[in-house]
Amino acid sequence: MQQGGQSIVDRLLAAKNTIAGQNLAKVVCKATTEEIMGPKRKHLDCKLNRFLLKEKIFSFFLKGLLQATHEMNVSIPELADLLIERSQNSSWIVSFKSLITIHHLMSHGNEVKYSIEIFFFKFFF
């Protein structure tokens, strides 16, 4: 494990997820790296940017796991599986960051989407 920056394993895993087109897995990997520091805010939060175009204000979100909880094409159970898989990593840092990320998403995520998907999977599977 490197003391400064991401480890080689983290970089390879992020590259593999990028090549495979698994953006959600890539963001989870980047939020739960082996760096001895908390998860970076840019991987957890979504930032609301606004711009003015012809007297109308447009808003758009930058990537982040909180944004993923608000999008309809993202599966919350898939996100949970990815975080649980990372929490079972042999590195205590990755496991701890996974738990921090789960707590952050449960505290600040889209709870309406959680409850709808939990209801669906609970009663139909």
Ordered domains of the chain (ranges, CATH): 8-124 (1.25.40.90)
For residue 56, what are the β-bridge partners?
53
Average pLDDT along the chain: 77
pLDDT in tens, 51-97: 444 444 433 333 578 877 877 777 888 888 899 999 999 999 999 99
3-state DSSP call for residue 57?
Answer: strand
User: What predicted TM-score, i.e. pTM, was given to this entire model?
Assistant: 0.73
Of 42 and 49, more confident: 42
Enumerate the β-bridge partners of residue 61: 48
Q: From the CA atom positions of the chain, what is the Rg in Å?
A: 16
| Torsion angles phi and psi, residue 100, rounded to 5 | -60, -45
pLDDT for the residue 55: 46
Q: Contact at 8 Å (CB) between 6 and 35? A: yes
Residue 99 has pLDDT above 70, yes or no: yes
Provide the sign of the torsion angle of the four alpha carbons 40, 26, 98, 90, taken in this order.
negative
The share of the chain scoring above pLDDT 70, in percent, equals 72
